[in-house]
Structure 1
Amino acid sequence: MAEPHAVIVGGGIGGLTAALALDRRGWAVTVCERAPVFDPPDVGLALPPNGLRALDALSAGDDVRKRSAVHDVASIRRKDGRWILRTGVEETRRRFGDAVCVLRNVDLADVLLERLPGSVLHTATTVTNVEPGDTRRPARVLTDVGELSADLVVVADGARSTVRPELFLEHPGAVYAGFTCWRAIVPRPPDYPLEYGESWGKGGVAGVLPLSGDEVYCYATGNVPAGGSAQDERSELIRRMDDWHPPLAELFEAARPEAVTRMDVWHIDTPLPALHKGRVALLGDAAHAMTPNLVQGACQAIEDAVVLAHHIDGSVAYLPTALRSYTDARLSRTSALVQRSAQLAEAVQNDSPVVTTLRDTAAGVVGRLAPTLLARYTRPIDDWQPPAGM
């Protein structure tokens, strides 16, 4: 009996995790990546405990931990550097079973690719159309280099997916969240004792997270119109950090100009009616793009991949029915996280002095009463467990 065949649209973290989860279940997998070469963005990525558990289900978690630095669930300061809320790594481990792991995006991609057959990833392959099929007919995937037949199609091509609008014609799609994010990996200052975490100001946040080795991951957000750009993004970011506490501006000054990337933040504010259609499943940002405030974008894509592989592990003939079970298992959780993350984004991106003062005061109350209140807020997110048998 021939192996069932899955075509995955998009070679990001969600797509590669889906490829690994399906490969481990005996599927033949083809990953279609539009980029001419596989070159993941060189940015940092934080994985809270739930994402690590999902990777553990694929026997990849320990390798990810080896390549990571550890962080805590929440450490937040004001723009002037005064602490609002602070937790420790050991406290995070004790309450959630693991620390937050921070690593390069490319290192996570390498962990996943190392576990996949070399023939899986097809670069310079743009998917132009997907016919979802049904119980009797396989799906058809049209690309600029040919046509593929698939028992399953996994759409993992990001928040601005080109496939999703064709499957859900009346859905409004992703909307701009109102802010952009600058990111860079920079050298760790040799003589400066860094304190990791996030700082909140009016109309934006900035953060510094540890990486293994002699570098750190830095980011900052700002309320700007969608589609904008600066002639020199590094200089623009340094200007914005000028009146924030040290060493934020100094860290970005140490970045190579080409290392500073800018990305508008889009999210799917209106939930999709389902995360599948016919023999097509959507996962990650293509299904439920969210703002980065809960640090759950990559984690939810990884969770999706593990749950999807669990639900379709059976007769290919009944795959559309199995995909309904996938939607039932994932839609409610991911929709709630999209909304919770959007609410947090609205608070931290607010540029009203009154609102930001109230926000910082409320977070300070959590800090004084932490870890009880913090655990209550994050436990529904971090307590997720992979399906039995994965």
Structure 2
Amino acid sequence: MGTNAVVIGGGIGGLATAIGLRRIGWRTTVLERAHVLDDAGAGISLAANGIHALDALGVGEVVREAARHQYTGGTRTPDGRWLARMDGVALERELGTSIVGIPRATLHRLLRAALPEESLRAGAEATSLDRSDPERVRVVCGDTVLDADLVVAADGVGSRMRTLLFPDHPGPAYSGSTVLRAITEHPVDLRTDFELTWGRGAEFGHLAFADGRAEWHAVLNAPAGVRHPDPLAEVRWRFAGWHHPIPALLAATRPEAVLHHDVNELATPLPRYAVGRVALLGDAAHAMMPNLGQGACQALEDAVTLTAALTAEPTVASALSRYDAERRPRSQAIARAARQAGRLGQQLDHPFAVAVRNAAIRMTPSRVTVRAILRHAAWTPPRLG
């Protein structure tokens, strides 16, 4: 097989794939449509499967060093009562590594640092694919045409490449939830590493970072497209009276730092993750709701699995067939589980249903909760050659 690849999309999944491909000797170019790599975004929590994938790519340790390990926290009600506590030590014992929290911008920079500077082209938007030659794909990018033995479409939930490959697919659907989030301007006195608080049709969570700052997110049931003149004021109003440290987190936030995005997902699963010499990866393949914290972890699993398949199989075609067979069942099952978690968690609005859910969570033994997390986070990466 050839060894020249084009990766479309310079996010977590695309960068991880480029790292993996270069580790096995492929020449790889990453096309990122953003002209300036300003690393916009808030924070991210990486479960054990994501960390193990980074280990396989050779960047796990540097990410651990920059992250805060999550051992304490859990789920609460708006008045501060605990529904469930997180046993980070037990999870680390079972999985071999802890959950970590890190700013997305930091993770992006660390992944880019593992690649030669010339391999990433900013302000380069892939607009079409020419797949008429079975031996290669031509990627049209402005006035430039790149020939590739393999194209990896990692261009996000609104993937243009997915639309080109599956023109009859309905594309992403609005989940019914919208999220506002930010990173605090300065450190905040936090007693836990990670928390979620569930109200009626609303969730507030925080994720502590190694430098003492924190990411917070507020998820609300809302119609698609609703925006507020002052998002921070809206969050303060919506979560007024909720327990500490929510007021402190909001007080430590600059209004202009708040991001607001609707949560979209691929509610209709793709029939396959590969077409010819093009592989779909990450949100382009299986955009899911964030309720299990598995979106980025699944993209990292994709990157490692695709890289391993290319070392194990004799042709690109057989490698992509293997990648599809290994990744589609697992990632789509986790997407379904994330949707269900959202419906029973943040999106639940009826007072009686909320009360029943809360009672059920309180009565669930911690070992059962740990087993539930293991179903998604327990993953052993394949060997890269």
* Shorter-normalised TM range: over 0.9
Aligned pair partner of 1:172 in 170, 173, 178:
170
**Cross-structure match for 1:45:** 44
Shift of 1:154: 0.5
**Equivalents in 1 of 2:203, 2:72: separation in Å?**
16
- Alpha carbons of structure 1 residues 374 and 314: separation in structure 2 relative to 1, 3 Å: closer
**Cross-structure match for 2:74:** 75
**Equivalents in 1 of 2:32, 2:383: separation in Å?**
31
Letter in 2 for 1:29: T
**Cross-structure match for 2:252:** 254
**Cross-structure match for 1:329:** 326
- Alpha carbons of structure 1 residues 143 and 294: separation in structure 2 relative to 1, 3 Å: same
Identity of aligned residues (%): 38
Shift of 1:108: 1.0
Deviations 1:337-376 (A, max 9, x none): 000000011112111111111111121122xx11x21122
Structure 2 spans left out of the alignment, 5+ residues: none
Q: Is the 8 A contact 1:204 1:223 kept in 2?
A: yes
Q: Is the 8 A contact 2:193 2:208 kept in 1?
A: no
TM-score by length of 1: 0.94
Deviations 1:300-347 (A, max 9, x none): 00110000011112677x212210110000000001000000001111
Q: Is the 8 A contact 1:132 1:140 kept in 2?
A: yes
Matched ranges for 1:347-366 at <5 A: 347-348=344-345, 349-366=347-364
Shift of 1:150: 0.8
- Alpha carbons of structure 1 residues 299 and 194: separation in structure 2 relative to 1, 3 Å: closer
Deviations 1:25-50 (A, max 9, x none): 11111111111111222411100111
**Cross-structure match for 1:265:** 263
**Cross-structure match for 2:92:** 93
State how many pairs are aligned.
383
Q: Is the 8 A contact 1:3 1:28 kept in 2?
A: no
Q: Is the 8 A contact 1:73 1:92 kept in 2?
A: no
Deviations 1:106-125 (A, max 9, x none): 11111111111111110111
Shift of 1:91: 2.1
**Cross-structure match for 1:122:** 121
**Cross-structure match for 2:300:** 302
- Alpha carbons of structure 1 residues 106 and 47: separation in structure 2 relative to 1, 3 Å: same
Matched ranges for 1:154-173 at <5 A: 154-173=152-171
Matched ranges for 1:1-390 at <5 A: 4-72=3-71, 75-132=74-131, 136-186=134-184, 187-190=186-189, 193=191, 196-313=194-311, 318-348=315-345, 349-366=347-364, 369-370=365-366, 372-389=367-384
TM-score by length of 2: 0.95
CA-based RMSD of the aligned residues comes to: 1.8
Shift of 1:151: 0.5
**Equivalents in 2 of 1:334, 1:314: separation in Å?**
21
Q: State the secondary structure of the residue aligned to 1:119.
A: helix
Structure 1 range deviating more: 24-33 or 248-257? 248-257
**Equivalents in 1 of 2:313, 2:91: separation in Å?**
41
Shift of 1:258: 1.3
**Equivalents in 2 of 1:343, 1:73: separation in Å?**
25
Letter in 1 for 2:321: R
Shift of 1:88: 2.9
Q: Is the 8 A contact 2:292 2:338 kept in 1?
A: yes
Shift of 1:193: 4.3
Deviations 1:177-228 (A, max 9, x none): 11111111113335x6457311111001111111011211111100111122
Structure 1 spans left out of the alignment, 5+ residues: none
Q: Is the 8 A contact 1:69 1:212 kept in 2?
A: yes
**Equivalents in 1 of 2:8, 2:188: separation in Å?**
40
Structure 1 range deviating more: 330-339 or 110-119? 110-119
